[in-house]
């Protein structure tokens, strides 16, 4: 007897993905001191979405992951075969897939401060029991930041001061290293325009007068001291 009709909307029930019971002890922890929100999506495995919050050396972010699975197809008459992937493999893939291809990252001693550990860990016990790994991650991240800043200096010079040429990670690196005097960092802050409350045109928030409609932003600290020549 055919059972095709038992699953509405599915022509072949053998193509349904069914996960076997997961080993509760198969855990791994991704540790990040990179101050950026990360979402890694892997559509070929289940679960396949991994989110890491911004972290720091003083308060590292942690993501505990378990095993995932993918499915192999044999033929139409046999159910899909589940292929489990260990949690340590998932953690390693999260870091490598995100970092590979990042500008100035060599995946060795010049990369975002991320690593993974077997088992389930918290930020507190990471700082207490794995300080050498945090120190190593901090050193790698600082090297990466310096490489990004050096590259941004070159891009700034080659583009004749075009802020579009500067990568966002380079700006993050400059701020993290307290290099606020960088011209390309200042210029980026200047081109962050806002809407004029009177006409809606984009204007530089550093100045109280709109260049389009000449309206004065009364909330600007210099608005009261303006004097116009009659």
DSSP class of residue 47? S
66-82, pLDDT tens digit by residue?
999 999 988 888 889 99
Confirm if 181 and 133 have CB atoms less than 8 A apart: no
**Residue 170, CA atoms < 13 Å, CB-side half-sphere:** 23
| Distance of alpha carbon 178 from alpha carbon 135, whole angstroms | 19
Per-residue pLDDT at 197 exceeds 80: yes
172-181, pLDDT tens digit by residue?
999 999 998 9
| Distance of alpha carbon 210 from alpha carbon 218, whole angstroms | 11
- Mean pLDDT, residues 78-104: 95
| Distance of alpha carbon 12 from alpha carbon 5, whole angstroms | 9
Residue 63 neighbours by CB under 8 Å, 6+ apart: 29, 30, 32, 50, 51, 52, 53, 94
For the entire predicted model, the pTM comes to 0.76
Where in the chain are the domains? 11-141
3-class secondary structure, 17: coil
Q: How many CB atoms lie within 10 A of CB 2?
A: 5
Residue 214 pLDDT level (bands cut at 50, 70, 90): confident
Confirm if 87 and 66 have CB atoms less than 8 A apart: yes
Nearest to 98 by CA among 33, 23, 39: 39
| Distance of alpha carbon 143 from alpha carbon 139, whole angstroms | 6
Question: 112's torsion region: left (phi>0), alpha (psi -120 to 50) or beta?
Answer: beta
Per-residue pLDDT at 9 exceeds 70: no
- Mean pLDDT, residues 92-97: 97
Nearest to 66 by CA among 43, 95, 89, 82: 89
Per-residue pLDDT at 1 exceeds 80: no
* DSSP letter string, 167-193: -HHHHHHHHHTT-TT-HHHHHHHHT--
Give the chain's radius of gyration (CA, Å): 26
| Distance of alpha carbon 13 from alpha carbon 104, whole angstroms | 48
Residue 7 pLDDT level (bands cut at 50, 70, 90): very low
What pLDDT is stored for residue 3 in this prediction?
Answer: 37
Average pLDDT over all residues of the chain: 88
What pLDDT is stored for residue 191 in this prediction?
Answer: 54
Confirm if 78 and 14 have CB atoms less than 8 A apart: yes
């Amino acid at each position: 007897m055919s059972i095709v009709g038992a699953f509405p909307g599915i022509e072949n029930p053998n193509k349904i993905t069914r996960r076997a019971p997961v080993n509760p002890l198969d855990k791994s922890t991704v540790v990040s001191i990179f101050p950026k929100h990360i979402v890694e999506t892997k559509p070929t495995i289940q679960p396949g979405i991994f989110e890491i919050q911004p972290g720091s050396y003083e308060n590292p972010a942690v993501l505990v992951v378990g095993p995932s699975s993918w499915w192999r197809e044999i033929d139409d008459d046999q159910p899909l075969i589940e292929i489990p992937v260990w949690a340590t493999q998932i953690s390693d893939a999260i870091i490598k897939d995100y970092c590979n291809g990042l500008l100035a990252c060599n995946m060795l001693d010049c990369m975002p401060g991320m690593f993974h550990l077997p088992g389930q860990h918290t930020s507190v016990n990471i700082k207490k029991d794995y300080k050498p790994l945090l120190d190593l991650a901090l050193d790698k991240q600082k090297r990466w930041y310096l490489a990004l800043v050096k590259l941004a200096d070159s891009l700034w010079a080659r583009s004749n001061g075009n802020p579009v040429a500067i990568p966002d990670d380079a700006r993050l690196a400059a701020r993290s290293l307290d290099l606020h005097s960088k011209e390309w960092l200042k210029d980026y802050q200047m081109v962050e325009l806002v809407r004029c409350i009177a006409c809606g045109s984009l204007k530089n928030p550093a100045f109280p007068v709109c260049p389009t409609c000449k309206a004065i932003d009364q909330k600007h600290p210099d608005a009261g001291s303006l004097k116009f020549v009659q």
